[in-house]
Structure 1
């Protein structure tokens, strides 16, 4: 579902028994940060990555994005070093992370009223650091990351794990997402979903 009218949006919010939020591009403004970080990591490996190429794939988990780069550019990455360089760059720029107000306000509104989780395809260290930098970490009962599941979005694993931790059946969960693979993952998990691109 995208850009619901106010009445329908409120109905979805109030009927949901739990709220699950993606992190990057949904709760916090990090796509540009990731773009710069990936570009630096690839440059350290002697490779070029166009920001436009990245933005078409924003929201992909690290190894999924590297799979795509290797296949499209016929190269083999030193994945351990590339990931290390990416995460170092992200942590250096973490103080610049800001919340996406229209979505973060929903989390603040329902904090303590409904169980809430973050389900992100990013690594635990980076996801928690970005939420903390934006002042949002304390709002959530649990944070699920790619480190906690076997399969990245669009597989439903992240959302199913979040629902299990919250103790709420999937069909009673409402997801907030910004990426195509995240929207698909929520649908694959049998959850209602709001495309935040229609809200922000």
Structure 2
């Protein structure tokens, strides 16, 4: 995530933020899928020998884990920064968290898509770690909506289900968003903010 002297700028996106090898692996996974990509393919596109690639990453699984970890860490840091900016106002906390999710899944579309769709390819402890990070991220939304209902700012009778629906809606942006489409990420975030308020029964 981009940082300044004043701290993290969670709305700022410049490039992929990935090291060159991971950027290459991401492109290969997007084109061929995880299982359809070979180490040799990634190495050739990265202009490395296969042993040279193994020097940096021990396996194709290690490449996927590094991509997923980067995605989840970046989203977590941005989300926490958005909530910190929002302060104690629960409506603003919801607005900025939704904005953060939509911007991330639009600007980091490929990375977010692979992190979500290739969970089936993670194994063992790596899969457990990812699920833990995903659940931690979900709890941010859970707590915002629970607080809003508790303060009678939100009127939904189903706060837990609403939280999951909102996160699913926001993360789904990575499945269809295209930069050449009708709306910019910021315009899309504003529309999602309005839809989200309707979902939770906010004023």
TM (norm. structure 1) is 0.31
- Length-normalised TM-score, structure 2: 0.31
Q: Higher helix proportion, which one?
A: 2
Structure number having the greater strand percentage: 1
Q: Which has the higher contact order (CA 8 A, sep 6+)?
A: 1
* Largest Rg, 1 or 2: 2
